[in-house]
Amino acid sequence: MSERELSIQDVRHIAKLSRLAPDDATVESMRSALSSILGHIAKLSTIDVAGVEPMAHPLALSNRLAADEPGATLPIELVLLNAPAKVDRYLAVPKVLDEGGA
């Protein structure tokens, strides 16, 4: 996009697409802010990125996962102590399916 100032009509169209209904004073403020943002994006699009490997994150990260080894489980009595509802030795949850199961 060129570095031109956005028109009031442009801002109102963008606001409508965003499901916003700004008043006139806000539209003028948004016009200035959006024009500035689009100007920065235009500058970024001029950067030569040929040969630059795309990355998902700017820092080198690695997951530190512990070995998946079975261990001792909590006794059912301790688990049920914090349950908001229980039936016998089970957690009670709201029904989410019809009788037909679909």
pLDDT score for 3: 56
Is residue 15 one of the residues assigned to a domain?
yes
| Cβ-based neighbours of 76, under 8 Å, separated by 6 or more | 89
| Cβ–Cβ < 8 Å for 30, 15 | yes
d(CA 54, CA 98): 47
What pLDDT, in 10s, does the model give residues 69-95? 899 999 999 989 989 999 999 999 988
Is residue 14 one of the residues assigned to a domain?
yes
Is residue 85 one of the residues assigned to a domain?
no
Is residue 90 one of the residues assigned to a domain?
no
What pLDDT, in 10s, does the model give residues 20-70? 999 988 998 899 899 999 999 999 989 999 998 888 888 888 887 888 889
Task: Give the residue from 102, 83, 79, 101 showing the smallest Cα distance to 93.
Answer: 83
Is residue 18 one of the residues assigned to a domain?
yes
pLDDT score for 16: 93
Is residue 19 one of the residues assigned to a domain?
yes
Confidence (pTM): 0.47
- Print the domain residue range for 21: 8-44
Task: Give the residue from 41, 34, 36, 38 showing the smallest Cα distance to 15.
Answer: 34
Is residue 37 one of the residues assigned to a domain?
yes
The total domain count for the chain is 1
